[in-house]
Amino acid sequence: MSYDLIIQNGTIATASDTYRADIGVKGGKIIAIAEHLEGAEEVIDASGKFVLPGGVEAHCHINEPPIGKVESADTFETGSRSAACGGNTTFIPFANQARGQSLLEAIEDYRKLAEGNSYIDYGFHLIVSDATPDVISRELPQAIQDGFTSFKVFMCYSDVMIDDRQILDVLGTARQEGALVMIHAENDHCISWLGSKLEELGQTEPKYYAKAHGHVVEREATHRAISLSEIVDTPILIVHVSSAEAMEQVRWAQSKGLNIHAETCPQYLYLKEEDFDRPGWEGSKFICSPPPREESNQGKLWQAIKNGVFDVVHSDHCPYSYEGDAGKQYHAHEGGHPHFKCIAPGVPGIEVRLPLMFNEMVSNGRLDINRFVALTSTNAAKLYGIYPQKGTIAIGSDADFALWDAEREVEIKHANLHDGCDYSPYEGTVVKGWPVRTILRGRTIWNDGEITGAPGEGGFLKRKLHMDPAWNAPSELVHRYV
Amino acid sequence: MSYDLIIQNGTIATASDTYRADIGVKGGKIIAIAEHLEGAEEVIDASGKFVLPGGVEAHCHINEPPIGKVESADTFETGSRSAACGGNTTFIPFANQARGQSLLEAIEDYRKLAEGNSYIDYGFHLIVSDATPDVISRELPQAIQDGFTSFKVFMCYSDVMIDDRQILDVLGTARQEGALVMIHAENDHCISWLGSKLEELGQTEPKYYAKAHGHVVEREATHRAISLSEIVDTPILIVHVSSAEAMEQVRWAQSKGLNIHAETCPQYLYLKEEDFDRPGWEGSKFICSPPPREESNQGKLWQAIKNGVFDVVHSDHCPYSYEGDAGKQYHAHEGGHPHFKCIAPGVPGIEVRLPLMFNEMVSNGRLDINRFVALTSTNAAKLYGIYPQKGTIAIGSDADFALWDAEREVEIKHANLHDGCDYSPYEGTVVKGWPVRTILRGRTIWNDGEITGAPGEGGFLKRKLHMDPAWNAPSELVHRYV
Amino acid sequence: MSYDLIIQNGTIATASDTYRADIGVKGGKIIAIAEHLEGAEEVIDASGKFVLPGGVEAHCHINEPPIGKVESADTFETGSRSAACGGNTTFIPFANQARGQSLLEAIEDYRKLAEGNSYIDYGFHLIVSDATPDVISRELPQAIQDGFTSFKVFMCYSDVMIDDRQILDVLGTARQEGALVMIHAENDHCISWLGSKLEELGQTEPKYYAKAHGHVVEREATHRAISLSEIVDTPILIVHVSSAEAMEQVRWAQSKGLNIHAETCPQYLYLKEEDFDRPGWEGSKFICSPPPREESNQGKLWQAIKNGVFDVVHSDHCPYSYEGDAGKQYHAHEGGHPHFKCIAPGVPGIEVRLPLMFNEMVSNGRLDINRFVALTSTNAAKLYGIYPQKGTIAIGSDADFALWDAEREVEIKHANLHDGCDYSPYEGTVVKGWPVRTILRGRTIWNDGEITGAPGEGGFLKRKLHMDPAWNAPSELVHRYV
Amino acid sequence: MSYDLIIQNGTIATASDTYRADIGVKGGKIIAIAEHLEGAEEVIDASGKFVLPGGVEAHCHINEPPIGKVESADTFETGSRSAACGGNTTFIPFANQARGQSLLEAIEDYRKLAEGNSYIDYGFHLIVSDATPDVISRELPQAIQDGFTSFKVFMCYSDVMIDDRQILDVLGTARQEGALVMIHAENDHCISWLGSKLEELGQTEPKYYAKAHGHVVEREATHRAISLSEIVDTPILIVHVSSAEAMEQVRWAQSKGLNIHAETCPQYLYLKEEDFDRPGWEGSKFICSPPPREESNQGKLWQAIKNGVFDVVHSDHCPYSYEGDAGKQYHAHEGGHPHFKCIAPGVPGIEVRLPLMFNEMVSNGRLDINRFVALTSTNAAKLYGIYPQKGTIAIGSDADFALWDAEREVEIKHANLHDGCDYSPYEGTVVKGWPVRTILRGRTIWNDGEITGAPGEGGFLKRKLHMDPAWNAPSELVHRYV
């Protein structure tokens, strides 16, 4: 037998190409792609299906520390299972440094949580919440060498945020080592000031969360993040851009020649401000940070996706259950009223990211299937240093695939999903196109309704540095500072 | 005698009009303007001269606290004298709240320094460096009622800066009371980080001051200041805009419908980066914050002046002597090397602001004399609540005039100026057009080389709120937050 | 008696100042402005009124040639009468060169039509529809010397339009002589192509007129006009800017440093697309070229007015009656259906321009009274070479005034207007602020409901060149071509 | 033998992927890609080489009609030979409709010129110079069905240009049939007016060609082309964008959501204004339309390439010899002076396009090899309807390859090139990276210095419609007209 596995008759799509061919897999790697292949232990007939690279989900929160009583609804087991059922073969959650904690220790903690529990391959971004000189000069470089080549900083949330000078320090190390910094861009002072004003006015319903996290709050921090990146002359990625105003800052910066990368999320393309108006406390199901915006904002983000402003679309899966003692509306625990300040921000979505995006990008024709692959798999693999092992279908790459039935229409119901949460903000949304089979390094882990993989089959990915020669190329258009 | 004073045969110019007429003054007020007037105790022949409203200098630092050993070179006496000799009849220095100090007490301190000492009329902007709840909710409203209707906040300088949330508080009070907030927009974290990096590289000459205060540093803070103003929905004025990048943020905000006002200064239109390269420590003579930029930046600022981006041009007169024990290069005191961190930032210029602007705007034809009057007198009077008493030539206004000889060519030499400083950064600059007589409320205080006024003739101005109905008018283009 | 006329106790407002004073007039000129004046043949008590410079209406079509059977509803007598009743003391209609006709002859024709018939002072802009070498090199320079210092070219309308090369020729002469070119910017090819397409689709109702004259049609021509001006390096004024997209081109050009001036009109600030949907053929009452836009466009234009994009607001009064054999819906004459191609484009409005603008700018607080004066009188006087004779209240200027009752509320009814037309597109609009008295060179010609002037009292104005030193000032930001 | 040809051990790069693999070819098609392949008649060892898709050169002028005595220096034989030696396997010259000529007849003429003469595969874009109703409604649709799915219109050059209305007609047909319109965007009126002015001033040296084709001339037409496309709501491609100002229009339009595609050329990235100053008439070697710009313009174009503004980079190879009776400086033929109006515009470059781009994009690290492949091969194949047959390395695609030695440094000398021209504007330029072998459908046609192909081996490509679902996707950001 030449191959462990042959996938026959499918239509392969990569970030640039679409063609019909058979794929031959051996030892978990793609070793042949040809008009016709024979001789395998296992043959999968992909007739009428798209064969795509497995999705890379590079923004998700798994097993993060509780917010008061509110606990993460997903462990590595449930989170990776849900991801697998949604067509992903790789995910990159965060290893979250607690303030006062060693960064390397935080890494160790999260590795332990993941080890033996994941259905799919995984790496970690670091969250740097304590940018001590030792972290900046010793721990971060060490972590990068160990394969943690991207890290996130927060411009808001008092328990994790660092200030501009500390961000510059982090960027300085990133530049020196070639790592990538992800930035959560919202102005903490503004959020808190607006929150107080709204509270004084008695405006405490969930929808005021969005008011306290208004467009300007995000736009300002985005401009600031861009400026910090410009000063240090090192690329950044602005995560979860939600506001068209923030997006315009990114496009402006890109036009100037700055290496600003950006991500948006399904919640900003499907959910909207009006969702907060659901009766009772149900609006809190849609609260994440930054929040979904008014409907007209969506079209502008779609346009920006088309224009190349965004490199990636990830779920920012941040699972808090709605019901129960550990539910996200934590003020309710003690019998209080709904209050926007007492909602753990975050929405689940790791399993439906790909179908939601396939539906609009491919089925509704906003882009094409190659752009879909680029935005949901290939670009992330390149940005986060796991390409070409992950993110494409090419000789030598891992045999990670998602088989898609482009014609299948599915109504999203949380009852059918596989995460640890108790609701989906997309409940009732009907999408066309569904990942019917997920294959990790040649092994089928999800097969049309049946979970065939197992926890622990997913392995740790020691990531390389990002790759983009343009990051080092001179731009004649910007001032250089350092 | 119908009039105390008649000014005959001059060419009057206001912010909109230019015409030949006589002006009749009584009791320090303009009571008649006519083709021909007769019957006065004093008649001034203004043939061949422009008769302009006295200049309003609304950005100058007088008698401010020392920076280490470096002392302000100007008292109210020398500062106001220099202003008078430069065609100004009003100035508005700052009353600087020390951290921990009561704002009302700071006002008292400065009023005492000024009382009996000024050649020209004066008011005070407040510098809010300690935005305690009491300052925000009691002292500021009280001060506004007392005629201190504008105040400045700093986004840099550790001893005076307040943070974004505090700025929002200040803006909140300004909005409630109808006052105007002036913002020094540079990002302190960036300045300090860049300063450290430059120091590590051994780049300590004066010119590196400009590197540590680069374009981005100013642009970022300008965008942030605009955003804070947008959130509170109250006008601000960005002082001393130096970078074309910051200016573009202002124009962008104005296009969006935000009430962003802006000031620039002669140093950004005449001085340039290369000036820092003077031999020895002489470069420090040109250091102010933000610093003069590369030459190509000047054309962009001029264009913005023409386009209406800027409302006012003031001197930001901040006088530190170059020589001596209290000189601005304070590191030198102890025999050290020049070091950009050890230079008291600020340049003198209160006496030459008007000639420098007249030269470019009027003599070199960049604008016209009406725009010159608007930018150097009328607009400031309106913005700072002293119009129509000050800032124009109209019935009922104070008889404050500057008589200009548009043909006189003068080479600027500090030896001929009247401030308390020991140098001028404009030494050697030749300008065409010079204020040959200054008249305060009908009394000549400067007459072609001779000081005829006296300290104490200038009085305190209890200022009203700014006036601009557009500030209250709805803009359909912006999100509203509060 | 020292004065022919004293206007007492009014509140004078100019483009920059507002103050209480008496005005003394002699020989039709303002000779004194003072706290108190005495000794006049006539004294007008202006207590509680604003005394403003008479309006300058610099865009109106009077006695222009018929379009088929559709005739201009206004002669110089009715047009100037209506203007006078609306607070104007000067107007500048067009002298329209017919193709094949000598330009100087056209001037003669129009001067004859005006002579002895106008209630107010007048000049003429020229419409250059036949840019022959003789017109370019001899007639235009001659006309400019004769006081016709501005001329208009059309980028659409087959009987008057000239092509880009001819516009460049006209601009070349304008530059050489210092004259000002006004441009009607709509792309004729696009209008005609869209018109044919709409016709093919059977979409012929009045509202499709707006479709054929869509935003892009105007924006494109505006960009082109700007480009032609840039090539020749001479200022232009884009008339009747209606689309926010076109306005943005103007602002972009101004930011670049180009001397682009712009006008908008009340119809683009008050009327809207929905007006075309009136039952029957009534939609045609609102058709002008370019057409009123959707309502959201209005806010953007107001913002641009506030931002200084526009120099002037004129009526573009183009009076065609609605009813009758010569009515504007000319297709109807022969019993046809309504058809957007068969409507003479133009709306009447010379009498209500000032009240409509006063209402929004002053009463509704969008700007202030000084900006109102600037936009409706002073700026036009400066742009069109009749300042300081016209456009302000200053010693030596013509004693042209409009007295305004800022509190009077008026519902606009055509029955109360004084033009030769049979409808007003603003019928029913309620405005606050009304010009209750108009004074031309010291003579009251309109007094609160009564016409007291007479045809022929208005005289011809030989205009000087425009004045704006900035037009000759170098901009460092643009390429120079010639 | 399983394969006709195996290419071993090369590093394959496509528009998205880079990996090491063997390629198996049979019947001129790629039938297998694998870690290791065996069993072929011919084996090529590509160790140490990049194996890229053959270049697609989609903008070149071959055998076009003479301009006076100046003749095209290239036939299909020489042009395709030169292309082949430069790593291209497909080219798409123009079939140029003479005014008055049937379009289908023009196609026939060009097909005859090409048949049996080309070394590489070819298609034709049409040049529509006579947009008669028959051409619009019958011939164009027929031509599209016959595989001529893209056509070019000119906004300048009197013998080929069509007016805006005709362009709208052409765009209308393109929209209906799904074809792509390419636009040469320069304003003819401006060129001719500027030309006359320069001539009047005696400024006739070659460098004044660039003055007559200044930035604004191109920017204006680009804005207009965009506007026409917006009206018809159909994509266009702006060819040979040279000016950063024109590029900014394209980016602005893309941001608005318009489907504007753009091409730039090596001459705008390597050549510059100063090249016109070569002694004697030599400046004419660099004249093309639009012309190379000042050096600072290049950086802005590079930035735009990086930003995704441009889809493709082609040579616009337009070969006129410099010397001889048919040389491009045709005024010289009769012994005249150099005169910019008498130079046939166009530069040769079909053979060096790929090396020039490889050098900057890959060797100098401005982009990466995948973007190089996209910009020079894949994107063109997709835009012009020959993908996936051409433009990639994938199963089922034609076995068209270029083998690149990324380390080889070559000094460009025309003596070593293979076109029919007598000079290269890039003479002396040193590049790193060279196409050492070209393979057309499995047959080596160029092998490191030796031409191994033959005229006639290249075949005609009946092209499909362009593919880009985004072209049909709704943009919420633009007005729709038709």
Q: How confident is the model over B392-410, as pLDDT tens digits?
A: 999 999 999 999 999 999 9
Strand ranges inside C383-442, DSSP E: 401-411, 430-440
Distance CA D320, CA D336 (A): 19
Chains B and A touch (3+ CB pairs under 8 A): yes
pLDDT tens digits, one per residue of A132-184 = 999 999 999 999 999 999 999 999 999 999 999 999 999 999 999 999 999 99
Mean pLDDT of B30-45: 97
Decide if C53 contacts C424 (C-beta within 8 A). no
Nearest to A345, CA basis, from A250, A434, A267: A267
Partnered with residue C443 across adjacent β-strands are C440
pLDDT tens digits, one per residue of A11-46 = 999 999 999 999 999 999 999 999 999 999 999 999
C309 CA: distance to closest CA in chain D (Å): 20
Confidence of residue B352 (pLDDT cuts 50, 70, 90): very high
Q: What is the interface pTM, i.e. ipTM, of the complex?
A: 0.96
If you count residue pairs, one on C and one on D, with CB atoms under 8 Å apart, how many are there? Answer: 88
**Residue A47 forms contact with D (CB below 8 Å):** no
Q: Which positions ≥6 away from D391 have C-beta within 8 Å?
A: D15, D53, D56, D377, D378, D379, D380, D381, D382, D397
The pLDDT assigned to B329 comes to 74
Residues of B in contact with C394 (CB under 8 A): 17, 19, 21
DSSP code at position B285? G
Mean pLDDT of A214-239: 97
CB contact under 8 Å between B482 and A163, yes or no, is no
Q: What is the four-CA torsion angle of B65, B336, B423, B211, rounded to 10 degrees?
A: -80
Residue indicated by tokens 């097969």 = A447
Distance CA B65, CA D222 (A): 58
**Residue C215 forms contact with D (CB below 8 Å):** yes
C413 CA: distance to closest CA in chain B (Å): 28
Distance CA B292, CA B295 (A): 9
Q: Which of B168, B169, B214 sits opposite A481 (nearest CB)?
A: B214
The pLDDT assigned to D471 comes to 59
Residue indicated by tokens 């003692």 = A325
> For chain A, what is the mean pLDDT?
94
Structure tokens at B235: 């006008």
Q: Which positions ≥6 away from A415 have C-beta within 8 Å?
A: none
Distance CA D51, CA D23 (A): 9
Residues of C in contact with B257 (CB under 8 A): 303, 306
The pLDDT assigned to C472 comes to 55
Mean pLDDT of B440-460: 97
- Min mean pLDDT across B80-94, B466-480, C421-435, D186-200 is at B466-480
- DSSP for C34-83, please give it: ES----EEEEEE-TT-EEEEPEEEEEE--SPPPBTTB-BS--HHHHHHHH
CB contact under 8 Å between B34 and C34, yes or no, is yes
Decide if B422 contacts B414 (C-beta within 8 A). yes
The pLDDT assigned to C1 comes to 67
Strands C260-264 and C236-238: parallel
CB contact under 8 Å between B306 and C473, yes or no, is yes
Neighbours of chain B (3+ CB pairs under 8 A): A, C
Q: Where are the alpha helices (DSSP H) in C257-393?
A: 266-270, 295-307, 353-358, 369-373, 379-383
Helices vs. strands in chain A: H and E counts, helices first: 14, 18
Tell me, what amino acid is at D324? G
Neighbours of chain D (3+ CB pairs under 8 A): A, C
The pLDDT assigned to A111 comes to 97
Interface of D with A in 442-481 (CB under 8 A): 467-470, 472-473, 475-477
Residues in chain A, how many? 482
Which of A38, A51, A255 to mutate against chain D (most D CBs within 10 Å)? A255
CB contact under 8 Å between B16 and C392, yes or no, is yes
The pLDDT assigned to B189 comes to 98
Distance CA D83, CA A387 (A): 34
Is 90 exceeded by the pLDDT of residue C328? no
Structure tokens at A378: 């290939």
Mean pLDDT of C296-324: 96
Q: Which of B216, B230, B482 sits opposite A481 (nearest CB)?
A: B216
Confidence of residue B471 (pLDDT cuts 50, 70, 90): low
Q: Where are the alpha helices (DSSP H) in C285-345?
A: 295-307
Helix (H, G, I), strand (E, B) or coil at B297: helix
Structure tokens at A170: 């982090």
Q: Which of C165, C190, C227 sits opposite D219 (nearest CB)?
A: C227
Distance CA B385, CA C95 (A): 47
Interface of A with D in 291-330 (CB under 8 A): 296, 298-300, 302-303, 306-308
Distance CA B171, CA B182 (A): 10
Report whether the peptide linkage leading into residue B388 is cis, meaning its omega lies within 30 degrees of zero: yes
**Residue B190 forms contact with A (CB below 8 Å):** yes
The pLDDT assigned to D329 comes to 75
**Residue B168 forms contact with A (CB below 8 Å):** yes
DSSP run (H or E) holding A264: strand A260-264
Decide if D44 contacts D5 (C-beta within 8 A). yes
CB atoms near residue A97 (< 10 Å): 26
**Residue A207 forms contact with B (CB below 8 Å):** no
DSSP code at position D343? B
Nearest to A250, CA basis, from A211, A293, A308: A308
Is 90 exceeded by the pLDDT of residue A468? no
The pLDDT assigned to B477 comes to 67
Distance CA D408, CA D415 (A): 18
CB contact under 8 Å between D392 and A467, yes or no, is no
Going residue by residue through chain D (482 aa), what tens digit of pLDDT does each one get? Answer: 699 999 999 999 999 999 999 999 999 999 999 999 999 999 999 999 999 999 999 999 999 988 888 899 999 999 999 999 999 999 999 999 999 999 999 999 999 999 999 999 999 999 999 999 999 999 999 999 999 999 999 999 999 999 999 999 999 999 999 999 999 999 999 999 999 999 999 999 999 999 999 999 999 999 999 999 999 999 999 999 999 999 999 999 999 999 999 999 999 999 999 999 998 889 999 999 999 999 999 999 999 999 999 999 999 999 999 998 888 876 555 666 778 888 999 999 999 999 999 999 999 999 999 999 999 999 999 999 999 999 999 999 999 999 999 999 999 999 999 999 999 999 999 999 999 999 999 999 999 899 999 999 999 999 999 866 655 555 666 666 76
Which of C227, C273, C293, C300 to mutate against chain D (most D CBs within 10 Å)? C227
3-state helix, strand, coil in chain A (%, to 5): 35, 25, 40
Interface of B with C in 237-276 (CB under 8 A): 251, 254-255, 257
Which of C156, C171, C201, C216 to mutate against chain D (most D CBs within 10 Å)? C216
Distance CA D314, CA D150 (A): 15
Which of A16, A33, A298, A465 to mutate against chain D (most D CBs within 10 Å)? A16
Residues of C in contact with D194 (CB under 8 A): 231, 481-482
pLDDT tens digits, one per residue of C35-76 = 999 999 999 999 999 999 999 999 999 999 888 888 999 999
The pLDDT assigned to A312 comes to 98
Residues of B in contact with C308 (CB under 8 A): 307-308
Decide if B390 contacts B26 (C-beta within 8 A). no
Residues of D in contact with A300 (CB under 8 A): 476-477
- Min mean pLDDT across A329-333, B242-246, B371-375, C70-74 is at A329-333
Distances (CA, A) of B126 to B110, B183, D444: 10, 12, 81
CB atoms near residue C465 (< 10 Å): 14
D299 CA: distance to closest CA in chain A (Å): 6
Distance CA B426, CA B424 (A): 5
Report whether the peptide linkage leading into residue C348 is cis, meaning its omega lies within 30 degrees of zero: no
Is 60 exceeded by the pLDDT of residue B27? yes
Is 80 exceeded by the pLDDT of residue A329? no
Decide if B135 contacts B98 (C-beta within 8 A). no
Is 80 exceeded by the pLDDT of residue B40? yes
Distance CA B58, CA B56 (A): 6
Chains C and A touch (3+ CB pairs under 8 A): no
Q: Which of A168, A215, A224 sits opposite B193 (nearest CB)?
A: A168
Interface of D with A in 383-422 (CB under 8 A): 388, 392, 394-397
Tell me, what amino acid is at A103? L
Nearest to A344, CA basis, from A88, A189, A109, A159: A159
Mean pLDDT of A301-329: 93
Residues of C in contact with B308 (CB under 8 A): 307-308
For chain C, the structural domain boundaries read: 55-366
Decide if A34 contacts A19 (C-beta within 8 A). no
pLDDT tens digits, one per residue of C173-187 = 999 999 999 999 999
Partnered with residue A24 across adjacent β-strands are A6, A32
The pLDDT assigned to C217 comes to 98
| Percentage above 90 pLDDT, chain A | 89
D23 CA: distance to closest CA in chain A (Å): 10
Mean pLDDT of C285-299: 96
Q: Which residue has the higher pLDDT, C391 or B470?
A: C391
The fold for domain A55-366 equals TIM Barrel (3.20.20)
D281 CA: distance to closest CA in chain C (Å): 23
- DSSP for D183-246, please give it: EE---HHHHHHHHHHHHHTT--STHHHHHHT-HHHHHHHHHHHHHHHHHHT--EEE-S---HHH
- DSSP for D284-333, please give it: GGG--SSPP--HHHHHHHHHHHHHT--SEE---B--B-SSSTT-SBGGGG
Mean pLDDT of C373-390: 97
Nearest chain A alpha carbon to D250: A307
The pLDDT assigned to A324 comes to 85
Which of A358, A382, A395, A467 to mutate against chain D (most D CBs within 10 Å)? A395
**Residue D186 forms contact with C (CB below 8 Å):** no
DSSP code at position A449? T
Q: Give per-residue burial for A370-402: e unless 16+ CB within 10 Å, then b.
A: bbbbbbbbbbbbbbbbbbbbbbbbbbebbbbbb
Q: Which positions ≥6 away from C63 have C-beta within 8 Å?
A: C72, C74, C75, C76, C79, C93, C110, C113
The pLDDT assigned to B327 comes to 84
Mean pLDDT of A439-456: 97
CB atoms near residue D430 (< 10 Å): 10
